[in-house]
Amino acid sequence: MNKLLVILFLFTVSTHAQEWTRFRGPNGSGTSETDIPAKWTTDSYLWKIELPGTGHGSPVLWEGKVFLNTSKNDGQKRLVTAIDAKSGKILWATPFESSKHKTHKHNSFATSTPTVDAGHVFSVWGHKSELRVVALDHDGKTAWERDLGGVNGGHGFGVSPILHEDLLILPNDQEKGGGFIIALDKQTGKTRWKIPRKSKRLTFSTPCIYSHPGGGQADQLILTNWWLGITSLNPKTGKLNWEKSVFGRPHAERAIASPIVMNGLVIGTCGFTTLDKHLVAMDPIKGEEVWRTEQSVPHIPSPIVVNDLLFMWGDGGILSCLDPRTGKTHWRERVKDVRDTYFGSPVAAGNHIFCTSSNGSVVVIEAAKTFRQLAVNELDELCRSTPAIANGNLYLRTYKHLYCVKGK
């Protein structure tokens, strides 16, 4: 009997390790042990499909299904879409009506990434007169939906929700204050807690959870915002643990890259495209700054930790490798043979780090203390999303298509 329980436990752990349930996968880390080849040929693609709409949101996966958001008619129709992960067949695309509105030229009407669990997929979109949250079962039927009000922001909407235990958590920092963080019951959509935020700037970053390695302490919900800095809340209640204004205030900045957890620290970034950008490491137990850097910090791509090394992928293709404990720089190099900008964040499959440029160049480097660029794979189309890794494969969403790259 004990052996059977052990086998079932190992099977469960292995199965859930295959899932990619939110933006950048497990707790937003962007990492997987899957072995994906660096250089691709036409035989490397398991399939490529045209999506029923457009967008920049990233895919998520659960038990052989890919879920993502698409949009049509300038945001007037939103489609939560499910695809068979093995064949690329579109299983369903559930439509929701919205109103026509504008967004930033680099944004889309489907930039948010859904989150998924065993029962439902949860999707969010917003504009000045609507902030819609929907929950669908895995057959595409709507379980519940809510309108939480409008979104005040000149660059459009792009934040993604996360799940924590029985809660769906959504940040909604807005321009000039008036924002909030809200936790909904994932089964019913009812509000469990809601915290006002005097944020002053719209935020695109997706929160993460800090769990103490030794246990015995409550989890922390980690968020970033230009004006408020890095914030820690109790994810069950919304109660404030600590908040530190660690980013620059001389001029208005924006938190776009998402925070991550590494080596007992939490990392947050913020900045402005043509001005200062900051990466700050915080001790989540003490709520104190440990180290920071302002050198070659990305504005949009989120940082990633692989092989006990911190990698920053700059918007213009300057890459840095740092010691995550001290911030000491191991190397700083520019991507070779690609002159482009990067809106998606890097992900890692084993020792390979992948990041896609706006024109669809998938650059691959080795996750090591010495810089080594392994390959550039060309998709030749607009791409501002972040890949997903699950079922032993890599899934890439461009503006109009979804690709599946076979693992080894």
Query: Would you give the distance in Å from CA 183 to the centre of its chain?
Result: 18
Domain membership flag for residue 388: yes
Domain membership flag for residue 4: no
Question: Could you tell me the pLDDT band of residue 9, with boundaries at 50, 70 and 90?
Answer: very low
The answer to whether residues 320 and 355 touch, using CB atoms and an 8 Å cutoff, is: no
Max mean pLDDT among 10-14, 101-105, 128-132 falls in: 128-132
* CA dihedral sign, ordered 135, 96, 390, 164: negative
Domain membership flag for residue 1: no
pLDDT at 106: 66
Question: Could you tell me the pLDDT band of residue 373, with boundaries at 50, 70 and 90?
Answer: very high
Q: What is the pLDDT of residues 267-294, one digit of tens each?
A: 999 987 667 889 999 999 999 999 999 9
Q: What is the pLDDT of residues 11-54, one digit of tens each?
A: 333 434 468 999 999 999 999 999 999 999 999 999 999 999 99
Residue 5's contacts (CB-CB under 8 Å, 6 or more residues apart) are: none
Domain membership flag for residue 155: yes
CATH of the domain at 316: 2.130.10.10
pLDDT at 254: 79
Q: What is the pLDDT of residues 201-256, one digit of tens each?
A: 888 899 999 998 877 789 999 999 988 999 999 999 999 999 999 987 666 777 88
Question: Could you tell me the pLDDT band of residue 150, with boundaries at 50, 70 and 90?
Answer: confident
Neighbouring CB atoms inside 10 A of 250's CB total: 7
Please state whether beta strands 179-185 and 191-197 pair in parallel, antiparallel, or not at all (unpaired): antiparallel
The answer to whether residues 104 and 156 touch, using CB atoms and an 8 Å cutoff, is: yes
DSSP state of 399: S
Domain membership flag for residue 10: no
Residue 2's contacts (CB-CB under 8 Å, 6 or more residues apart) are: none
Domain membership flag for residue 179: yes
Least confident of 25-34, 95-104, 315-324: 95-104
Q: What is the pTM of this model?
A: 0.93
CA distance linking residue 326 with residue 267, whole number of Å: 12
pLDDT at 207: 97
Residue with tokens 């719209």: 202
Residue percentage of the chain with pLDDT more than 90: 74
What is the count of structural domains for the chain?
Answer: 1
Domain membership flag for residue 2: no
Whether residue 101 has pLDDT greater than 70: no
By C-alpha distance, which of 213, 174, 167, 172 is closest to 191?
167
Work out the average pLDDT over 113-133: 92
Please state whether beta strands 120-127 and 115-116 pair in parallel, antiparallel, or not at all (unpaired): antiparallel
Domain membership flag for residue 257: yes
Domain that holds residue 164: 23-406
